[in-house]
Amino acid sequence: MKRSVLCSLVAMALTACQPASLSTDDPIKIGYIGPLTGEAAPYGKDTFNGTKLAVDQINANGGIHGRMIELVTEDGRCNGTDAASAARKLTDIDHVVAIIGGQCSGETLAAAPIAESAETVMISPLSSSPDVTDAGDFIFRDYPSDALKTAAMAKFFAEEGYEKVALITENTDFASAFRNALKEKVGEEKIVFDEVVEPGTKDFRTLVTRLKDTEFDIFFPNAQTDAVMAAMMEQLREQGLIQQAITHDVGDSPTLVELAGDAVDGTLVINVPSAGEGGVFQRQFEEAGYEPQASIAFAAHAFDAVNVLAKAIESAGTDSTAIRDYLYDIKSYKGIVGNFSFDQNGDVVGIPYVLKQFKNGEIVKVKDISVN
């Protein structure tokens, strides 16, 4: 008697453990991983709000085949450890259909193996490290790889005659990978100054003092966050160095002007176009009560990532393999950031680069940059 009760209890417990995503009225769970706290939180905030906006719009229009999307949010804190446990929770406990994230490359690279082994599609709206290319079959991104961006930069340096590059790198996955790619593309012999500092360092005075004795014609502040980049630029200009400076995505932030003022004036940025800026997307974004913390383009990439995923689920259902195959097969998706598709590695194809410059406190477009 007792044994049979026990047996039925065990049986009940076992059935309770099964994923309950079979009912058609249940919400479709989508995970989000990004830095919601910490120094990189502006990126997390922007991509999260972009994600949230897309999800709310889809739900307001009746969801996907009548099923609402439920967003499960995890803080990746811009590091691998937190992102990995976030990915584990999302796949093992929440059984999400897909994940939007991570944002920092370190997050994505740590979460990727977990998503891959759980066969869960993951789309990163912001990770640009070249390593993400090989992160796995289920790993996509709608943000271009730095392998392309550094190639564009090397070409730009060659065209403009910049022969001596001074580089200070913050020791994070994104910035270090960028440093390696840049060194490879530009040529090691052209990097005349190359120092790597601990993440979050804000005292660059002594490195700048050494830069004074170095002959260089372009400075590259390779920081992970605009707070650190502002400190680099301020302290460079403080000591009277007037060489041209050029930077990447991180520098494409109006906050830099607020922080460093004149010190960033004239600085060049090579990055994806400021997608969504001044358009319908920005209006919707602001009407929803959000304000860009770093860049509206980050929100736009996240917005597109959710929508392309929703389209995949709409056509292919909630089966991961079917979603993955659908994403690989997309010919051209018309998003806020442009018309794009994914290559055989899950890397985005079709996002162009532009050269921008800080002029009187504004970031203005100078010209398009072709990669090929």
Partner 1 sequence: MQLFANALIAGSLAALMAGGLALVYGVLGVFNLALGQLALVGGYLTWWLHQSLGLPLLISIIGGLFLAGIITWITFELVINPFYKRHRFLPIVTTIAVSMIFDALILLLFEERPRNILSSTKHFVTVAGARISWEQLILITLTLIFVASVAYTLHSTSVGRKIRATVQHSEAATSLGIPANILHRIIFIMSGVLAGCGGIFIGIDQNLTPVLGFPITIKAYAALIAGGKDNFWGTIFCAYIIALIEQLAIGVPWFAGSYIPAGYQSVVALLFIILVLLVKPSGIFSHKLRIA
Which stretches of the chain bind partner 1, using CB under 8 A?
37-39, 41-42, 44-45, 168, 171, 195-198, 200-203, 205-207, 209-210, 212, 225-227, 230-231, 234, 238-240, 255, 258-262, 293-294
Distance CA 54, CA 60 (A): 10
Q: Are 249 and 222 in contact (CB under 8 A)?
A: no
The nearer residue to partner 1, 136 or 261, going by C-beta atoms, is 261
The nearer residue to partner 1, 113 or 254, going by C-beta atoms, is 254
The nearer residue to partner 1, 203 or 325, going by C-beta atoms, is 203
Q: Is 63 left (phi over 0), alpha (psi -120 to 50) or beta?
A: left
Shortest CB 227 distance to partner 1, Å: 4
The nearer residue to partner 1, 25 or 198, going by C-beta atoms, is 198
Shortest CB 47 distance to partner 1, Å: 12
The nearer residue to partner 1, 79 or 307, going by C-beta atoms, is 79
Shortest CB 234 distance to partner 1, Å: 8
The nearer residue to partner 1, 38 or 187, going by C-beta atoms, is 38
Identity (one letter) of the amino acid at 290?
Answer: Y
Shortest CB 361 distance to partner 1, Å: 10
Shortest CB 82 distance to partner 1, Å: 13
Shortest CB 231 distance to partner 1, Å: 5
Shortest CB 232 distance to partner 1, Å: 10
**Terminal Cα-to-Cα distance of the chain (whole angstroms):** 76
Shortest CB 202 distance to partner 1, Å: 4
Shortest CB 123 distance to partner 1, Å: 23
The nearer residue to partner 1, 225 or 271, going by C-beta atoms, is 225
The nearer residue to partner 1, 258 or 329, going by C-beta atoms, is 258
Q: Are 74 and 32 in contact (CB under 8 A)?
A: yes
The nearer residue to partner 1, 195 or 319, going by C-beta atoms, is 195
Q: What is the dihedral of CA 263, 298, 174, 308, to 10 degrees?
A: -160
Distance CA 72, CA 86 (A): 10
> Residue 28 forms beta bridges with which residues?
69
Distance CA 151, CA 164 (A): 16
